[in-house]
Amino acid sequence: MKKRSLWVLPVAVALALTGCSSNSGTEGAAGSSEAPQEQESTAVPALTAEQAAAVAKTLGGDEPNVQVLDSAALSASVESAKGLIDQMEIEPAQCAEYVAQQGTQDLDGVNMAAAIVVGEAGESSSYSVAGYEDAAKLEAINKMADAKDLQGCEDFSMKVAGQEVSASAKILDAESDADKTIATHTAMTMNGAEVPGGSYQIQGVVGDNVVAVSHTQTTEQSEDAAVKTLVDELNKAVAEVKAAAK
């Protein structure tokens, strides 16, 4: 559990990090797993912090409600994230351990940026881009992608900021232009009421980079349509990363 990424409990981590974004900002969480892709590595070098921020800004679009957070802002949010995560009551216990470790991990050797878009109806999207100069951290990401294991966190519950949330995560079937593609859907019930749509996430490894797209919806959507949207956006992100790295 100690070496897993933000793929397994996207809702828990997203709530923690969204809370921080109102202060210093942070990344929206990303998706979980699908079978590892049998694609040849593109050997795309790690983006710089400036390149990652530029790609995140492009993915977020030009709407006035887009917040772009660079590596400095994300790093500065770690202490705020720790405080919020400490307030969470998460079951089962191993999932709480995961959130604490992954929601507050350091970004040394990682050039990360994120764009967060919040809609008027409460829906939200996030786009994160990370260039991994730390080879060990990138290797851990690749191992997580290959594991495809929710490790007992398919179903979990938590209490945070007066909200009681129960959720179930499901691995989705998705393929993209990334070297490895991982996608999940998380269905949620908040304070006893089912949240329409839930949260969809997809993440892709692109050489020495990791890109992620997350959508939290307020209306129902077919799984096939949601996955197609995620894959289309991830493919755009992959193309942007490759172009920026040239």
Query: Between 3.30.1330, 1.20.950, 3.20.20, 3.40.1000, what CATH number should domain 10-245 receive?
Result: 3.40.1000
DSSP result, 178-199: SSEEEEEEEEEEETTEEEEEEE
State how far the Cα of 128 lies from the Cα of 14, in Å rounded to an integer: 12
Residue 179 in this model has a pLDDT that exceeds 90: yes
**Is pTM beyond 0.85 here?**
no
Q: Locate the domains of the chain by residue range.
A: 10-245
**How do residues 16-25 score in pLDDT, each as one tens digit?**
443 333 333 3
* Residues paired with residue 200 on neighbouring β-strands, in sequence order: 185, 215
**How do residues 201-239 score in pLDDT, each as one tens digit?**
899 999 999 999 998 877 888 899 999 999 999 999 999
pLDDT-derived band at 160, boundaries 50, 70, 90: confident
Closest CA to 16 of 110, 113, 101: 101
pLDDT of residue 245: 95
Closest CA to 226 of 187, 191, 194: 187
Residue 35 in this model has a pLDDT that exceeds 70: no
**Are 211 and 178 contacting, i.e. CB atoms less than 8 angstroms apart?**
yes
Looking at per-residue confidence, does 153 or 133 come out higher?
A: 133
* Residues paired with residue 205 on neighbouring β-strands, in sequence order: 180, 210
In angstroms, the Cα distances linking 64 to 60, 69, 116, 197 are: 10, 14, 11, 24
Looking at per-residue confidence, does 4 or 184 come out higher?
A: 184
**What's the rounded mean pLDDT across residues 167-172?**
85
pLDDT-derived band at 104, boundaries 50, 70, 90: low
